Amino acid sequence: MKKLCFRNNLCKTVILSALCFLMLASVVACNNSTTPDPGTTDGSSTTLAGTAADGLWSKALYNEDKEFGSGAKVIKLEVKAANKSVTFTIKTDKEKLSDALLEHELITGDEGQYGLFVKSVNGITANYDADKAYWALGKDGVILNTGVDSTIISADEHYEFVYTKG
């Protein structure tokens, strides 16, 4: 009896296709796996998206919670980017959120027809022209309809700047 399967081009094609599929599946599985975080000693791991956090946060001014100022109003500003966040406690007498944040160099931006367009928060730059990234301003988890320079602050408020890609 002849071994027809390996001499038949159709059989060869099917076997090679199956091998290619298995190799592709193993590559995809490797890319979706978690890698140990060299900064941890407990064996925990981060996904590959965690490396994006390291890249964004490498230029951050502060990587830990911090307090600023000595004014009568106390507000909190949480900066969120790539699954990491820090919270700043700001004591200020300023009326507008932008003034309180600019006072401590926590934001930078450009003046435009709609007010201050925030480009950098805590040293982390969002470049809309390059990758559609921007800073979304929120209060108590809700995105605001006002800009940072038209947001009037009161004591005990919680604001968020969230690094967002559109």
In this predicted model, what pLDDT tens digit does every residue of 81-137 receive, in sequence order?
999 999 999 999 999 999 999 999 999 999 999 999 999 999 999 999 999 999 999
In this predicted model, what pLDDT tens digit does every residue of 12-49 receive, in sequence order?
554 545 444 444 444 334 444 333 333 333 333 333 34
* 45 is a domain residue: no
Q: What residue numbers bound the domain in which 97 lies?
A: 56-165
* 44 is a domain residue: no
Higher-pLDDT residue of 5 and 82 is 82
Kindly give, in sequence order, each residue whose CB lies less than 8 Å from that of residue 73, ignoring residues fewer than 6 positions away: 91, 92, 93, 94, 153, 154, 155
Task: Please tell me the predicted confidence (pLDDT) of residue 147.
Answer: 95
Q: How many domains does one find in the chain?
A: 2
Cut 0.75: pTM above it: no
Task: Please tell me the predicted confidence (pLDDT) of residue 54.
Answer: 72
Residue pointed to by tokens 């106390």: 74
Question: Do residues 62 and 121 share a domain?
Answer: yes
* 103 is a domain residue: yes
